[in-house]
Structure 1
Amino acid sequence: MVAKISTGKTIGGVIRYNEQKVKNGQAKLVQMGGFAVKNLTVNDKIQSFVKVQKLNTRTKTNTVHISLNFSPKDKVDEYMLQKIVADYLKGIGFGNQPYLLYQHFDAAHPHIHLVTTNISSSGKRIETHNLGKVLSEKTRKEIEQRYHLVKAEEQRKQKVNLLQPLEKALYGKRETKSSISNIVQEVTRSYQFASLPELNAVLGQFNVCAYRGEKESEMFKNKGLVYSILDTAGNRVGVPVKASSIYCKPTLVKLERLFLRNKEARKQHRETLRGLILDMLKSSSSMEEFTSRLRPKGIKPLVRFNEEGRLYGVTYIDNVNRCVFNGSALAKELSANALSVRFSKDHVLPDPPEIKQEVRISGQETEQGIKVPSLEISLNSYHPEDPTPYELRQKKKKKRKKRIQ
Structure 2
Amino acid sequence: MIAKISATENLGGALGYNFKKVEKEEASILLAQGLYQNKEETYTMAEVFADMEALIPKKYRTKKVVFHCSLNPHPDEKLSDERLTQIAKEYMETLGYGKQPYIVFKHNDIAREHIHIVSLRVDGEGKKINDRFEKRRSKQITDTLERKFGLIPSSKVTDREIEEVSKIDITKGNIKEQVSETLRSVLKHYKFCSLGELNAILTVYNLTVEEIKTEFRGKKYNGLVYVPTNDKGGKISTPIHASNIGRGVGYTAIQNRMQKSKQAIKPLISIIRYRVLQTMRTSPQTEEELRQRLEEQGLRVVIRKNDNGRIYGITFIDDEQGVAFNGSRLGKGYAANVFNGYFFNPTNNPFLDEALYGSLSVRLEQIDKAQALLQSMEDEDNLVDELIEDIADGSFLPTGNDDWKEAAWQRKLRKQSKVKLRQRKH
Q: Classify the TM-score, shorter chain.
A: 0.3 to 0.5
Q: Which structure: greater helix fraction?
A: 2
Length-normalised TM-score, structure 2? 0.46
Larger relative CO (CA 8 A, sep 6+): 1 or 2? 1
Larger Rg: 2
Length-normalised TM-score, structure 1? 0.48
